[in-house]
Structure 1
């Protein structure tokens, strides 16, 4: 483990893109405005979450296609697209199309596993094949192969006046190197490394053992577990220590926040804190505490974080339920105070 943190090279942010069911257009427009603000502030990347049958972004590919036409420089990513809801061939076409439209700025992040509440949605999603669907890593491998230009069919050539390709069109050659896997377990970190992907590690990890992960008072140490995932990923990646990893904690700087905003942020973090005390559910998921404070305080806490010391790029997650004015304040403080305190310089 590095004894000191690396200077922060890339600063990004992640938003869920919530909207009101009575006025979904306003929420989507607000998400696009946040991405535009991020570009103006010099952020390197903007990421959107993927939410199905909820009041958040259900089609990040469509949202990022719109964002690609309202920005010119900022990288655009998904964190993450659950592939259990997707057909890899169709998704590969959509991703390549948006990458071409964006000028090569798309960073698709994906994950595997059955769709959330699968028993309730399977008849709508896979009415004829629900019990036969494979929601494991094979789905990612298929997507990677298609994005990277492997044949999707044994037919190509001219038929009448139409020309057919045996690989996904459009083909965007650089997209395959910008595919990310969002993982919280050693197995997923290892698989992503072995298949040459980049690795997204968020504020959730899986507790798989106790050796080297306990804090001073006994509970699992989130930072130590996350650090072990990063090392496992790089140990199996062809690029080794140079393999890209992005960390995605919830980080809320308060430098320019009003007293009311600071109180709201602190209450938000306090309400979510109990879930960080011990592993949650059958999957033994451990959540990181949300970080709230001045940029100087946050920089000190991050530099002491074992996993942050392993990375030089981040995509800090914005809280779910705040207003545009709150996000604007948080992003502005990130770009003008917290980022520079961590050694980062604005892009552009």
Structure 2
């Protein structure tokens, strides 16, 4: 029998997808992602989140995808987890985010992170041919974006110019409320503290930096508590957890075999911290919804959050995602105390 006992009953149920596509025929993959988001809304999910992938066969323009999704849905919140700001101009991104937020009716939840773009040495000449050595990839880049989203001055000039041109001193359009839905995706104590001090929401996922321990749940719990300790809202500050869960309740035999092979291939990296940065990956959670619920209810960090964005496996097919989402909404979510939006 499924249990629904946790210190914080699950209030918001979301999912995260990378949106893979065939490079020789990319449209079907993008359409599949939009269909999955619409399915999520129909199943009662509270949020759908898109990963961000540059120079890969995954979604490279999540804001454009969220704009499309906003016109096919009416209720579900739409997020990014996360936009790496090293690839972005904060002023231009603020314009895009506000535009899509207004079109969606205030449903956008932008998640961001900082640091140099992946494979920086091989891509910097294409991305910043004239300014690579001067680009600032620190938290200051997030601060600039937050300021523009909040409506801070972007220029000293405003007013009429010429016959018909009228200029604003802030980014336009401005979307009231968007600043309160900005998230930071962090994997370290420093990032958790910074996000809290700057009043952002906090995304914590299936990878953390092993700084004080080598137990994933213990590390993630320390990040959640550090974030809330430094956030003005304290224990009420929003945290979303993004572990990989694969319920198999309604999966057929072929799907179960595929899922098991996927998890087996990824499990070795969860046994110890990886690389010089000592990044530690959480094991994928696979099994019946009852089994996964038991594991989550025993997870130290999960017990202190009430929002999730469960990550869909990267390389599965559309019918697999339909099955997984249906089981999450119909079985796993309720086992964790969640109820779908009526």
Same fold (TM over 0.5): yes
Question: How far did 1:5 drift?
Answer: 3.0
Note the residue ranges of structure 2 that are not aligned, 5 or more in a row: none
1:146 maps to 148
Of 273, 278, 283 in structure 2, the residue corresponding to residue 284 of structure 1 is: 278
User: Residue deviations 1:106-150, cap 9 Å, x none?
Assistant: 000000000000000000101011111110100000000000110
Give me the TM-score of the superposition, normalised by structure 2: 0.98
* Number of the residue aligned with 2:40: 38
Q: Per-residue deviation at 1:159? A: 1.1
Deviation at 1:282, TM superposition (A): 1.3
Give, in angstroms, the shift of residue 283 of structure 1. 1.0
TM-score for both structures, normalised by structure 1: 0.96
Q: CA RMSD in A?
A: 0.8
Give ranges in structure 1 of 5+ residues lacking alignment. 214-219
- Extract structure 1 runs of 4+ deviating beyond 3 A: none
In the aligned structure 2, how far is the partner of 1:323 from the partner of 1:208?
36
Q: Structure 1 residue 51 and structure 2 residue 53: aligned?
A: yes
Structure 1 Cα separation of the partners of residues 19 and 199 of structure 2:
29
Mapping of residues 1-348 of structure 1, within 5 Å: 4-160=6-162, 161-209=164-212, 213=213, 220-348=214-342
1:4 deviation in Å?
Answer: 4.4
* TM-superposition CA deviations, 1:74-114 (whole Å, max 9, x none): 00000000000000000000000000000000000000000
CA contact 2:6–2:336 (8 Å) conserved in 1: no
**Cα distance in 1, alignment partners of residues 297 and 95 from structure 2:** 40
Looking at structure 1, the residues matched to 7 and 78 of structure 2 have their Cα atoms a distance apart, in angstroms, of: 26
Task: Flag the 1:254–1:110 CA change in 2: closer, same or farther, 3 A.
Answer: same
CA contact (8 A) 2:243 2:311 kept: yes
Q: Counterparts of 1:268 and 1:13 in 2: how far apart (Å)?
A: 19
Alpha carbons 1:92, 1:147 under 8 Å: kept: yes
Please name the residue that 1:216 is paired with. Answer: none
Q: Does the 8 A contact of 1:5 with 1:308 survive in 2?
A: no
Distance across 2 between alignment mates of 1:261 and 1:239: 43
- Between the two proteins, the alignment pairs up a number of residues equal to 337
